Amino acid sequence: MQLNRVLLALLALSLALSACGSYEFRGGVIEPPSDAPDFTLTNQSGQPFQLSEQRGQVVLLFFGFTNCPDVCPTALAEAAAARRQLGTDGEKLTVALITVDPERDTPERLGRYVRAFDPSFVGLSGTRAELEPIYKAYGVAATRRELPESALAYTIDHSAFLYVIDRDGQWRVAFTPGTPIEDMVSDLRHLIQTGVS
């Protein structure tokens, strides 16, 4: 009987210690975490959006464009699904699309596009001169490809990561295309609720 009590106590202690262990991110971890490069761009309402002013929120950044045929709508649909699954925690998540096609993506156009996925989503645009340093800072590849046989005239081939910035403005995780939504939700919820690794 005494032995059973000791074993139960050891099991309880083991479970408590494992629960206190550090969280293991499911997305690609930025190690060590680094300050997310700050920027100011124009949102869909024509107002300035500065990344450093989003402290206290977890920010999910995606670089894409409104004429994107597949990768962008898929990524934004997944981000919207993750936000819904977060429930009330989703109110502490800011999802922002930064255009890689500033020639066509006006604030108004971006606004209509992102709101089709979630009314809270933010569309960000700027001049080419404003955007290029941001692309470079986040390692975004974006190349214009001419489409002479298409009414679109051109498309943009671009990288498709979702960048996760924590409540303190630290770049913590990057989700690759096809990351399971439950993995995104797990990492985002952890950063929203605790903000620590």
3-state class (DSSP) for residue 178: coil
Residue holding tokens 């569309």?
Answer: 123
Q: What is the pLDDT of residue 156?
A: 96
Backbone angles phi, psi at 62, to 5 degrees: -135, 140
**pLDDT of 22-76, one tens digit each?**
889 999 999 898 999 999 999 999 999 999 999 999 999 999 999 999 999 999 9
When pLDDT is cut at 50, 70 and 90, the band that residue 194 belongs to is: confident
**pLDDT of 116-139, one tens digit each?**
999 999 999 999 999 999 999 999
Do the beta carbons of residue 195 and residue 168 sit within 8 Å?
yes
On the question of pLDDT at 193 being above 60, the answer is: yes
On the question of pLDDT at 78 being above 90, the answer is: yes
On the question of pLDDT at 3 being above 70, the answer is: no
3-state class (DSSP) for residue 156: strand
Q: What is the pLDDT of residue 21?
A: 61
**pLDDT of 143-162, one tens digit each?**
999 999 998 899 999 999 99
**pLDDT of 96-106, one tens digit each?**
999 999 999 99
Number of H helices, E strands in the chain: 5, 10
What are the CB-based long-range contacts (under 8 Å, 24+) for 92-95? 92/56, 92/57, 92/58, 92/167, 92/192, 93/57, 93/58, 93/59, 93/60, 93/188, 93/192, 94/54, 94/57, 94/58, 94/59, 94/60, 94/120, 94/122, 95/59, 95/60, 95/62, 95/120, 95/121, 95/122
- Global confidence as pTM: 0.86
On the question of pLDDT at 19 being above 60, the answer is: no
Architecture of 25-193 per CATH?
A: 3-Layer(aba) Sandwich (3.40)
